[in-house]
């Protein structure tokens, strides 16, 4: 019952934008730190962005300036806005509940050049 479900991925041209959504349920979302990770084929899963319950954020160097993580506690949702997408952003993007170590199933982002 503790779960997150990602959506919003798709195929876009380089330079485009996407907004990914992570809908949470089954736990006290408002006091939970959340994060987005991604995993490209043949590579390790890596942190993209994190946001604490109080709204503090952090970003991987590869997406700084192009990415914004936010949360809407009224909707139990975490968002990830990615602008100026690059081919190297191609990956499956996962949402994680840090306090429980629970992952979503992921949403595919494919950037073509």
Render each residue's pLDDT in the chain as its tens digit; 113 residues: 999 999 999 999 999 999 999 999 999 999 999 999 999 999 999 999 999 999 999 999 999 999 999 999 999 999 999 999 999 999 999 999 999 999 999 999 999 99
- Element at 95 (helix H, strand E): strand 91-97
| DSSP conformational letter for 29 | G
Residue 12 vs residues 8, 22, 44, 59, 109: alpha-carbon distances, Å: 12, 19, 23, 22, 8
SS3 category, 79: strand
Pairing of strands 10-13, 107-112: parallel
């Amino acid at each position: 019952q503790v779960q997150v479900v990602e959506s919003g991925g798709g195929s876009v041209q380089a330079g485009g934008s996407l907004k990914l959504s992570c809908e949470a349920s089954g736990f006290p979302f408002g006091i939970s730190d959340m994060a987005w990770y991604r995993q490209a084929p043949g590579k390790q899963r890596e942190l993209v962005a994190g946001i604490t319950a109080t709204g503090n954020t952090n970003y991987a160097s590869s997406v700084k300036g192009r990415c914004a993580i936010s949360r809407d506690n009224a909707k139990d949702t975490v968002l990830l806005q990615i602008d100026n997408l690059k081919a190297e952003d191609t990956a499956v993007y996962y949402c994680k509940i840090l306090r429980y170590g629970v992952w979503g199933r992921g949403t595919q982002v494919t950037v073509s050049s």
